[in-house]
A and B are shown apart, each in its own frame.
Chain A
Amino acid sequence: MDGTPDLPQGYRRLHLPEIDSTNDEARRRAESGADGGLVVTADRQTAGRGRRGRNWNSPDGNLYCSILVRPEIAPAEGAQAGFAVSLAVADIVADALAHALPVHCKWPNDVLVSDQKVSGILIESASGAGRSVDWLIIGIGINVTSHPDFAEKPATSLAACGVTAQLDDLLAQLVAALDLRLTQWLEQGFDSIRNAWMERAWRLGEQVDLMTGQDQVTGAFRGLDETGGIVLELAGGERRNLGHGELVAQG
């Protein structure tokens, strides 16, 4: 990854052969005052992270990038970003696969190819005295040449789907798609993203389980609410809006 891919206007790339985590590097740069539009990429990460410190295995050959943006949004609105980001990832993955395989967005922010996880997204932000977030960092990993083997959480890669992708090309496509989706979100509002996301939603209309720690809620997946929460219709017809949990398909 030594080339300079064509990024949309307003974005600039910082490429590192090796880094602890592209999110951590982007965060350090953000705290030192870097402007929005910084795209940090690395060939490999030595401490790639997922949610709550979960390891994100980061060997050479896959895409690891973190994009620093500084949108004028309240911290509560930051939670909507994940839907715009997962849509952008789904957009470019579907293109890379020439739409030959089903690509879905799984609530809240996973991207699946044929029910298998192809990408991980970790979004971090910070808020202090101001009304809007200080910064928002969008971390994206895409399995390009390899994927981890988890029995309980099946994963895949573009290569496993029969596609050879150049990392620089993929990065350029990703940043362009992300820029479009972020603009759609910030200019047209979350409703616009919500509707587009629901068209790609995994198991929409089907019976699902939502595992929320000690609890399990079973119902038909009816959509997203205006905050990004999942709407489940329970057996008795009651609708419940839930903000967290692990979505599991039935059967």
Chain B
Amino acid sequence: MNDTPKRAESPIDARAIRKLAKLLDDTGLTEIEYDTGDLRIRVARQGTAVQVSAPPVQQAPDPGAPPPLDTITPAPAPDPTHPGAVTSPMVGTVYLAPEPGAPNFVSIGDSVSPGQTLMLVEAMKTFNEIKAQKGGVVREIVVESGAPVEFGEVLVIVE
């Protein structure tokens, strides 16, 4: 974690930093910046190897070795720090298909390209398409259609 007060004379608010760090963990974000005008605090994760409350399910890869390609190990709990995790940017209701009766946007095993729509999240009748940030294969669809989702909740894993 980093704390970067903009001005030397500003008192460092440890409580605020702790609060932001907790928020970072709760939401699964990688970075939070908080600016009060005369004080700016930035809290960020260093790399992807962060400590999470759940024990790691995969063996840490040898930094020199290429990552294993074909080991499909379904995660027991959706982990927002998973590199392939696509998380919800909002509180709302998730839909896997564009409309009732229509096929789902994606299924497990599908190859998706960056920008492809994976699902919808609705809030107050505004429908937001969740798009793949990078290409890959849909490994896991974590949510069910019609279910409520929280901000930062894992929706799908693409890797």
Interface residues of A (CB under 8 A from B): 49, 51-53, 74-76, 78-83, 108-109, 121-129, 133-134, 227-229, 243-244
Task: Establish whether residues B125 and A82, one from each chain, have CB atoms under 8 Å apart when the complex forms.
Answer: yes
0/1 interface trace, chain B 109-147, chain A, CB 8 Å (1 if under): 000001101000111111111111110000000000000
A128 with B128: CB separation less than 8 A: no
B117 to chain A, nearest CB (A): 7
Measured as residues with beta carbon below 8 angstroms from the partner, the interface class of chain B is: 20 to 34
Identify whether the interface residues of B are mostly helix, strand, loop, or mixed.
loop
Distance, CA A108 to CA B132, complexed state (A): 29
Question: Is B98's beta carbon under 8 Å from chain A?
Answer: yes
**Interchain Cβ contacts under 8 Å between A and B, 14 examples:** A51-B125, A52-B100, A53-B98, A53-B101, A76-B90, A78-B90, A82-B124, A82-B125, A109-B125, A122-B127, A126-B129, A127-B128, A128-B133, A228-B124
Measured between C-beta atoms, what is the minimum distance from B34 to chain A in Å? 15
- Please determine whether A134 and B126 come into contact, CB atoms closer than 8 angstroms: no
Complex contact B123–A128 (CB within 8 A): no
Kindly supply a per-residue 1/0 record for chain B positions 47-73, scoring 1 wherever the CB is within 8 Å of any chain A CB and 0 otherwise. Answer: 000000000000000000000000000
Q: Which single residue of chain B is at the shortest CB-CB distance from A50?
A: B125
Residues of B within 8 A of A129 (CB): 114, 133-134
User: Is B132 a contact of A79 with CB atoms below 8 Å?
Assistant: no
Interface centre among A121, A125, A133, A228 (most CB of B within 10 A): A125
Q: Point out which of B100, B102, B128 has the most chain A C-beta atoms below 10 A from its C-beta.
A: B128
Inter-subunit contact A123/B127 (CB<8 Å): yes
Q: A53-B99, A78-B128 are in contact. Are A126 and B90 (CB under 8 A)?
A: no
The answer on a CB contact under 8 Å between A127 and B124 is no
Q: Which residues of B contact A80 (CB under 8 A)?
A: 124
Contact with A along B72-93 (1 / 0, CB 8 A): 0000000000000000011111
